[in-house]
A and B are shown apart, each in its own frame.
Chain A
Amino acid sequence: MSIATVALVSIGAHPASGRARRAEHDARAVELGLQLAGDSLHVLHAGNPHEPALRAYLGMGLSELHVLEQSDGNDAVPILRDYLRESGVQLVLAGSQAETGEGSGMLPYLLAEQLGWPLVVGVAQIESIHNGVALVLQALPRGQRRRLKVRLPFLATVDNAAPKARQSAYGPATRGEIDVEAVEVVIDDLSTQGAFQAAKPRPKRLKVIKAKSGADRMKAATAKAAGGSGQVLKGVSAEEGAQAILKLLIEEGVVR
């Protein structure tokens, strides 16, 4: 498959130390792109080309990485949109959430909206691309998967369900080239409204017992698992019991 594929990458931050690193989700997007397009994968970053952490992506076996140069606090959407529109790409892969800045995860959505492309979120695997139609496995919560059919060109975001990113090797990382392109900058207005602050630990929710009397409180504290409105089938045959259970399982949609 040699579909023109672009992976968008950003600079990540280590969750404990905050040190710059390759972003986890973006690295997975690169991995998925490498599996699909091999050497023809085009990796794109909008931001500072001199950031050393960018080289970690090159260490995954890329020969070059393209950077649209802009400084912090600039809006990446318009320049990425113009770049992608002109480059004739068919498939854009991105991580689902940035690790620095606001990290709202809006970028792929805005890009897709402005390019007029469909967006598939939480991709676990791209199974096949034939005649301009892709079969995509989407990851759902609780380890479930859903198969989707979508026409190229499209945008896909990946998260932790996508294949794990390969290790970054030092040699290729230093050898790889960073190709810088200067672009017109667009100021992002968030910096004028929002204020970043160190994350406050969130208080644990307390179990509040609203009781009018001491007896009620006692009851709430000592009560066992409430004998609720459970239905008890006694003296029925095994078949009837099984039917009742199956009916509930089908109603809940867990048996397919």
Chain B
Amino acid sequence: MSDIIRRDPRAEWIARNRLHPLHAAMQPTQLSWMGPNGVLRKNVHGVGFIGPNGIKRIDRSGEQQAGASKRTASVAVQLPLHQVAAPAFYIAVVPDMVGGRLSSHDRDLLGLAHQLAGTDGAVLAVVFGESKETAFATAGVDRLLLLDSQGYAPEQQVVGLRAVDNQFAPKHWLLPDSRNGGGELGRRMAASLGERPATRVWQVKDGQCVGRAGAGLQDLAQPVPRLILAAVECAEPVSETRHEALEVELSTDAPRCLPRIEDLGAVDVDPAAIPMAEAEFILSGGNGVKDWALFHKTAAALGATEGASRVAVDDGFMDRDRQVGASGTWVTARVYVAVGISGAIQHLQGIGACDKVVAINLDPACDMIKRADLSVIGDGEAVLQALIAAVDNWRHGAKQDAA
């Protein structure tokens, strides 16, 4: 780096403008610090700032306004660590882990678990199968227990949970009352333990829990039982602390039980028959798609539900009920592939709930790329063609491997 001091009028302007979004990032770094020998060191050159007409200004009021500092990328704030060295008791949570990650329902549940754990208890998350989650610590997991499980094996999972119950004797068990497996697993476990769970719980307060009853016209209030199946938004997720997420293990492996229900695997369903708002995987086309036959072929090859931007719908290439966005459908897909869509705000609103977004676009500066987790800059047509070929290849390869 050169030693020449270069002024950045824009940075200075931002530093003076307390309302600017980047204002905080433009503040000078440390002015004084404790030296190695216990002497307070000061950076005298850091004091003050260069005013608009090139004269150094020192603001003695304490309200430093400097643009002279080097640009620093905004640092990620380190949340305080919440440690439970010797837990007095455990609160066990069995998250759904849809797609191997904590869902927002799971996070709400972890928040509720912390309410119940207070400062002495530890939250133990019991996770089945492979997990891709990297944020257990910030989601509020104190102890993490990974149990392996393959396919649909609720009976084996209940055996696993009972082993956990024997070893950790959790004060409460929390499961999401969802259709993603939590509701079923929780009820199976309740039946197996012979305990009465509280279901569809949406509030836990002062030793009482309230859950929806019947067809939703009534609430049932009862003392908090040991087993809780909680609804979405039952509590605020953990956001102000970081947790250890220490891995623990079962002292003895859970016994194998003979599965009475055999999983023969997923069945192909017609992706076009799945309502768009529910679809898990959407391939969406916009104004950048010229060859619609190829687009439909790609969707069929991938087994994706089709979506479209408003321009594609207005131009008559897609049906109105396929429109994604503010004036179309708000989708909840886990994976959303956008081909030739620029990412107008009305469109981005519609995909706010999507987990992974893939963009294929010619323009590297468009807003869709900023939203996407993976972007390929290139001609949509060529990429779609290559994608069809790659999928075919992969399917054949996979079949040969299996054979």
- Complex contacts, B33 vs chain A, CB 8 Å: none
B interface size (C-beta, 8 A)? 92
Q: A216's contact among B24, B183, B222, B348, by CB below 8 Å, is which?
A: B24
- Complex contacts, B180 vs chain A, CB 8 Å: 141
- Complex contacts, B197 vs chain A, CB 8 Å: 104, 106
- Complex contacts, A254 vs chain B, CB 8 Å: 280-281, 302-304, 334-335
Chain A residue with Cβ nearest B264:
A147
Distance between A149 CB and nearest chain B CB, rounded to angstroms: 4
Classify the interface of chain B: helix, strand, loop or mixed. Answer: mixed
Q: Is B35 an interface residue (CB 8 A)?
A: no
* Contact assessment for A243 and B266 in the assembled complex, using a CB-CB cutoff below 8 Å: no
Chain B residue with Cβ nearest A234:
B377
Q: Is A182 an interface residue (CB 8 A)?
A: no
* Contact assessment for B374 and A244 in the assembled complex, using a CB-CB cutoff below 8 Å: yes
Q: B376's contact among A118, A146, A148, A241, by CB below 8 Å, is which?
A: A241
* Contact assessment for B214 and A238 in the assembled complex, using a CB-CB cutoff below 8 Å: no
* Contact assessment for A227 and B370 in the assembled complex, using a CB-CB cutoff below 8 Å: yes
Query: Which of A40-48, A57-65, A166-174, A187-195 lies at the interface with chain B?
Result: A187-195
- Complex contacts, B199 vs chain A, CB 8 Å: 102-106
- Complex contacts, B165 vs chain A, CB 8 Å: none
Q: Is B119 an interface residue (CB 8 A)?
A: no
* Contact assessment for A194 and B179 in the assembled complex, using a CB-CB cutoff below 8 Å: no
Most buried by B among A135, A229, A238, A248: A238
Query: Which of B46-54, B55-63, B268-276, B314-322 lies at the interface with chain A?
Result: B268-276
- Complex contacts, A246 vs chain B, CB 8 Å: 387, 390-391, 394
Q: How far is the CA of A222 from the CA of B21 in the complex (A)?
A: 8
With A148-B261, A194-B222 as contacts: A15 and B215 at CB distance below 8 Å: yes
- Complex contacts, A227 vs chain B, CB 8 Å: 370
Query: Which of B87-95, B138-146, B185-193 lies at the interface with chain A?
Result: B185-193
- Complex contacts, B21 vs chain A, CB 8 Å: 215, 218-219, 222-223
* Contact assessment for A195 and B220 in the assembled complex, using a CB-CB cutoff below 8 Å: yes
* Contact assessment for B263 and A225 in the assembled complex, using a CB-CB cutoff below 8 Å: no
Q: How far is the CA of A224 from the CA of B273 in the complex (A)?
A: 33
- Complex contacts, A235 vs chain B, CB 8 Å: 377
Q: Is B346 an interface residue (CB 8 A)?
A: no
Chain A interface residue bracket vs B: 35 or more
- Complex contacts, B7 vs chain A, CB 8 Å: none
- Complex contacts, B378 vs chain A, CB 8 Å: 236-238, 241
With A12-B215, A145-B267, A236-B378 as contacts: A195 and B387 at CB distance below 8 Å: no
Q: Is B375 an interface residue (CB 8 A)?
A: yes
In the complex, per-residue mask of A192-203: 1 if CB is within 8 Å of any chain B CB, else 0: 011111111010
With A102-B213, A137-B267 as contacts: A249 and B372 at CB distance below 8 Å: no
Q: Is B260 an interface residue (CB 8 A)?
A: yes
In the complex, per-residue mask of B215-257: 1 if CB is within 8 Å of any chain A CB, else 0: 1111111110000000001000001100000000000000000
Distance between A36 CB and nearest chain B CB, rounded to angstroms: 18
Chain B residue with Cβ nearest A223:
B21
Chain A residue with Cβ nearest B100:
A253
Chain B residue with Cβ nearest A15:
B215
Chain A residue with Cβ nearest B216:
A199
Distance between A167 CB and nearest chain B CB, rounded to angstroms: 20
Q: Is A100 an interface residue (CB 8 A)?
A: yes
With A149-B261, A236-B376, A254-B335 as contacts: A197 and B382 at CB distance below 8 Å: no
Q: Is A1 an interface residue (CB 8 A)?
A: no
Q: Is B396 an interface residue (CB 8 A)?
A: no
Query: Which of A26-34, A82-90, A108-116 lies at the interface with chain B?
Result: A108-116
Q: How far is the CA of A253 from the CA of B215 in the complex (A)?
A: 34
* Contact assessment for B152 and A144 in the assembled complex, using a CB-CB cutoff below 8 Å: no
- Complex contacts, B162 vs chain A, CB 8 Å: none
* Contact assessment for A146 and B375 in the assembled complex, using a CB-CB cutoff below 8 Å: no
- Complex contacts, B19 vs chain A, CB 8 Å: 214-215, 218
With A101-B214, A103-B213 as contacts: A233 and B376 at CB distance below 8 Å: yes
Distance between B324 CB and nearest chain A CB, rounded to angstroms: 15
In the complex, per-residue mask of B371-394: 1 if CB is within 8 Å of any chain A CB, else 0: 111111111001101110111001
* Contact assessment for A238 and B382 in the assembled complex, using a CB-CB cutoff below 8 Å: yes
* Contact assessment for A102 and B215 in the assembled complex, using a CB-CB cutoff below 8 Å: no
With A218-B21, A232-B364 as contacts: A109 and B191 at CB distance below 8 Å: yes
Distance between B310 CB and nearest chain A CB, rounded to angstroms: 18
Q: How far is the CA of A242 from the CA of B381 in the complex (A)?
A: 11
With A104-B199, A231-B373 as contacts: A248 and B215 at CB distance below 8 Å: no
Q: B334's contact among A102, A112, A135, A252, by CB below 8 Å, is which?
A: A252
Provide a sorted-by-A list of 5 A–B residue pairs whose CB atoms are within 8 angstroms: A99-B215, A101-B214, A109-B187, A242-B383, A256-B303
Which residues in A have some Cβ–Cβ distance to B below 8 Å? 12-13, 15, 18, 98-106, 109-110, 112-113, 118-122, 135, 137-138, 140-151, 154, 190, 193-200, 202, 205, 210, 213-216, 218-219, 222-239, 241-246, 248-256
